[in-house]
Structure 1
Amino acid sequence: MTLISLLTINRSFHGTGAQETGKALIESTCKKTQYPEECISALESDPSSFNANLTGLTRIAVQKSESKLIETLNIVNKFVLNETDYLTWGFLVFCRDSYNASVPQIQAGLQAFDKLEFEKSYRSVEAVNKAVVECDKQGLKMISQVNSGLFRLTKDATSILDLLF
């Protein structure tokens, strides 16, 4: 049923990607994001992107955000378990808890996306992005690179979601 809905939506698009497919659609979509090279890399890492329409690419971007969030959560959790400095440990726990709370949010966002509730999906990805910003304020250099990757991916996902409105 979701696939039929996504195909129906694709026919109604007259803007981005209406005539494009594959690599051309990925590139033209990602050019509208803040981090186009990273967007292209993320989308091209999923083979189904090459056959997806704009709606399909958008769902893949949200899925990639979910995967990166879980990956980041696992990395932060390892640091929490091994940290010996109490203050640093506390900052890490803050980040872990923020990311942990974001997992069900983005999963709900994927479910909303499948119901064509794109605004709810947008808000769920935006919530992850805000969690990254709040975590980054803790000044934890050991996770700054992974936070940056998650920030950029979720920022691009919200930009792609904007194209559906």
Structure 2
Amino acid sequence: DKTFEKQQREAFKIQAQWAREMSLPLVIHSRNSLDIIVGLLDELGYKGLEGVFHCFSGTLEQALHVISKGFYLGIGGVVTYKNSSLPSIIAQLPHDYIVVETDAPYLPPVPYRGKRNLPAWIEFTVKKLAEIWKVLPEEAAKITTENALRLFKKL
């Protein structure tokens, strides 16, 4: 529904400016609008802005672009799905801009797909990242925790 798209764009710009002024990260839900959001950020300029693209589901090119601007990718249960393109994308990205998230109660990881998601199941997302990165799950957990702490350093 694009009824309020103009207002949403303006609200996003205002919130991005507040984030810049307060040195706080943006948490961006860009479902079906990643190119629009990236365009708005390009227009605003990235200086003084950082954040995470929640439930990232874009392309490799989009991922590389937002990472190059200092933004993180939020990866959840979708990475565990059989037909997900995320594993091949994540394998080509630097590890230091990936954070894990649950999106509970939505998008549970395999083996719980189709059920109500629980935060405790984040371990399956971490295990999948470890598999993609060819590291132990403990190492993937350490990397993504350090990334989250760096992103949310002021909170």
Q: Structure 1 or 2: larger strand share?
A: 2
TM-score (norm 1): 0.32
Larger Rg over CA atoms: 1
